[in-house]
Amino acid sequence: MDLLLWRHAEAAPGIPDLTRTLTPHGREQAKAMARWLSANAPRRLRILVSPTVRTRQTIEAWRREYELCPEIGVSARGGNLLTAANWPSSREAVLLVGHQPALGEAVAYLLNSDTRDMVVRKGSLWWFQHREHEGRVQTLLRAMIPASFA
């Protein structure tokens, strides 16, 4: 299974949190990552997106169909993300577009880190793969793409 975790691009500060929009820089971050995904992501990909404005604007830069998933919204925890993606059992590749701290918690878990809340920077993407190799089950970090590298 491939699991891609994408944190929303840079958003303007403000309240209410659910309606914050991307900044001009954030829109550029999202477009750059969308180009990278077009060249590198699995062709068949289920996309689950937090229902906030900034996460929808982030994925809409890629112009792919997606599903809104309240379970990965701003109050989610890392385990909620993994459950929504059906990690590691899903037979399809899954991309989640979400928020801190849930993304950092999921990344820490997948990396088997003692740190519970890793930093996932705005606009960045982490790509994990669950596989069997030489009779062993493995979690592989395939890529970590900062927004500035996309």
Domain CATH for 86: 3.40.50.1240
DSSP state, residue 12:
-
Question: Which pLDDT band, with edges at 50, 70 and 90, does 127 fall under?
Answer: very high
38-63 residues labelled b (16+ CB within 10 A) or e (exposed): eeebeeebbbbbbebbbbbbbbbbbe
CB 84 within 8 A of CB 95: no
Q: What is the pLDDT of residues 70-112, one digit of tens each?
A: 999 999 999 999 999 999 999 999 999 999 999 999 999 999 9
- What is the C-alpha separation between 81 and 77, in angstroms, rounded? 7
Rounded mean pLDDT, 1-26: 96
The separation between CA 90 and the C-alpha centre of its own chain, rounded to angstroms, equals 16
What integer pLDDT is reported at residue 133 of this predicted model?
Answer: 87
Q: What is the pLDDT of residues 15-39, one digit of tens each?
A: 899 999 999 999 999 999 999 999 9
What integer pLDDT is reported at residue 15 of this predicted model?
Answer: 87
User: What domain range includes position 141?
Assistant: 2-149
Tokens in use for 112? Answer: 């088997």
| Number of domains the chain is built from | 1
- What is the C-alpha separation between 71 and 44, in angstroms, rounded? 22
pLDDT > 70: percent of the chain:
100
pTM to 2 decimals?
0.96
